[in-house]
A = this chain, B = another copy of it.
Amino acid sequence: MKQHTIQEIGQQLAKAKSVLLFPHDNADGDALGSAAALCGALRKAGKETAVLMGERAPDSFQFLDQGFFTFDQQQIPEPDICMCLDCGEPSRFLKRKEKFFQGRTTICLDHHVTSEPFADYNHIDGKAAAAAELVYKLIVSMGIAMDKTIGEAIFTGICTDTGNFQYSNTTKESHLITAALYDAGIDHAKVAVEVYQNMPLEKFQIVNKTLGTMELFAEGKAAMAHVTQAMLQEMGASVDHTDGCVEALRNIKGVEVAAFIKEKKDHLCKVSMRAKSTANVAKIAAVFGGGGHVKAAGCTLEMDIQEACGRLKQAIEESIRKDQALE
């Protein structure tokens, strides 16, 4: 299985009568934005198209569903093409995998560097900040006119995957594509309201409670916070609602290592860590058999949360001490 060009993928889509689209499980703004944009474009081109969902989309992304999303695997019984978006491997759409490979032709459009081609046609561009950028190029290459709905879906993908054009993956092209979307009439501020002003109350509350546990140590170079099952139950929140907490800790001035400990169940804690500039959190995670990248890593500690906090704190302090000795 090899890499194909955007044009080759466009030609396959142009030939097809029916196309079923697959965002990944726990779909985010890029997977859903990409799928919605392509669904809108293919319908404009007269194709029978739908987005086969793994689960209900988060509230923030419901606006993308202009009659596109379905849970019915039989909505298109025998699709000419099954195409997955933003998925590095078939395990990213596990319960829909069988249906995917029933497509007469399969296509994978993705931007994860680690992805291996697994479909009949594959276009994987690790330099693209978002899969939505590739969808933009695909729609342009097919000669389908961009419009407000398609443009806002692409914009959603780009914004969410670039952290609003702040993450290092953002490129000149992310901005050039976005500029072109303005010509299609997008209301970027409306998208921002949908995506960022729809925070579930339980998320607001659990984030507030969690950040309230913040503790600074190692002379202010490290920050740690935690969430317990009891806290989650009190707020009716899930662990997913604490996404973003570790970044909030890292954003404190002077903090070089941020650690966030989640009690998954009794005697099982998951740790997320972030480094700001010089520290290496992958090394700290490795102490506990975990791993990741220099600036974002994690590990699992099979112990009581209080013990986990203590052990992790020690490891972080030691790591910072070693770094200082080297300076």
A114 at the interface (CB under 8 A from B): no
Determine how close the nearest CB of chain B comes to the CB of A108; give it in whole angstroms.
28
By a CB distance below 8 angstroms, the chain B residues around A220 are 201
Q: Which residues of A141-187 have CB atoms within 8 Å of chain B's CB atoms?
A: 159, 163-168, 170-173, 175-176, 178-179, 182-183
Q: Contacts A59-B253, A211-B208 given; indicate if A165 touches B178 (C-beta within 8 A).
A: yes
A326 at the interface (CB under 8 A from B): no
Complex Cα spacing A165 to B166, Å: 10
A233 at the interface (CB under 8 A from B): no
A45 at the interface (CB under 8 A from B): no
A197 at the interface (CB under 8 A from B): yes
A192 at the interface (CB under 8 A from B): yes
Determine how close the nearest CB of chain B comes to the CB of A257; give it in whole angstroms.
13
A276 at the interface (CB under 8 A from B): yes
Closest B residue to A172 using CB positions: B182
Q: Which residues of A197-225 have CB atoms within 8 Å of chain B's CB atoms?
A: 197-201, 204-205, 208, 211-212, 214, 216, 220
By a CB distance below 8 angstroms, the chain B residues around A167 are 189, 192
Complex Cα spacing A254 to B176, Å: 34
A57 at the interface (CB under 8 A from B): no
**Do B166 and A175 touch (CB < 8 A)?**
no
Q: Contacts A199-B253, A200-B253, A208-B214 given; indicate if A189 touches B176 (C-beta within 8 A).
A: no
**Do A165 and B179 touch (CB < 8 A)?**
no
A196 at the interface (CB under 8 A from B): yes
**Do A212 and B212 touch (CB < 8 A)?**
yes
Interface size class of A (residues with CB under 8 A): 35 or more
Complex Cα spacing A277 to B277, Å: 39
**Do B251 and A196 touch (CB < 8 A)?**
yes
Complex Cα spacing A184 to B296, Å: 29
**Do B166 and A192 touch (CB < 8 A)?**
yes
A193 at the interface (CB under 8 A from B): yes
Q: Contacts A164-B165, A212-B208 given; indicate if A170 touches B188 (C-beta within 8 A).
A: yes
Complex Cα spacing A178 to B248, Å: 26
A262 at the interface (CB under 8 A from B): no
A252 at the interface (CB under 8 A from B): yes
Q: Which residues of A95-123 have CB atoms within 8 Å of chain B's CB atoms?
A: none
By a CB distance below 8 angstroms, the chain B residues around A59 are 253
**Do B171 and A182 touch (CB < 8 A)?**
yes
Closest B residue to A204 using CB positions: B252
Complex Cα spacing A163 to B182, Å: 17
Complex Cα spacing A197 to B170, Å: 18
Closest B residue to A213 using CB positions: B208
By a CB distance below 8 angstroms, the chain B residues around A226 are none
The 14 listed contacts between A and B (C-beta, < 8 Å) are A163-B192, A166-B188, A166-B189, A172-B183, A175-B178, A176-B179, A196-B251, A197-B253, A197-B276, A199-B252, A200-B253, A201-B216, A201-B220, A208-B212
5 smallest CB-CB distances across A and B, nearest first, come from A164-B164, A172-B182, A168-B189, A175-B179, A166-B192
